[in-house]
Amino acid sequence: MTIAVLAEFTVPAASVPAIRAALPGVLAFTRSEPGCARYDVAEDVEHPGVFRVSEEWDSREALQAHLATPEMAGWLAVRRALGMSARKVRVFGVSGFEDL
């Protein structure tokens, strides 16, 4: 079953440049992981400091392996150190989908 993840986090405006600087490494690492079909981060243009993550994984096991990596623990620590708040993560099991 495909797993979709929609996440969001907020950092103070002063931390936005540091988050932007860290994101290319996070994206490259995650996209290279087994089972990662998609991993994208978007910054909200109307609400500075709000970032949204959309992910697609081949399985729950692939997602769990991703979450257990030292790189993801490090990414979480960076965001916490930069004042992350309002973190929300939702995981969806997708039984099927179609292109519109």
Measured CA to CA, the distance from residue 83 to residue 64 in angstroms comes to 25
φ/ψ region of 83 (left if φ > 0, alpha if ψ in -120 to 50, else beta) reads: left
The CATH architecture one would assign to domain 2-94 is 2-Layer Sandwich (3.30)
pTM (2 decimals)? 0.92
Give the start-to-end residue ranges of the domains of the chain. 2-94
In order along its 100 residues, the chain shows pLDDT tens digits of 899 999 999 999 999 999 999 999 999 999 999 999 999 999 999 999 999 999 999 999 999 999 999 999 999 999 999 999 999 999 999 988 888 9
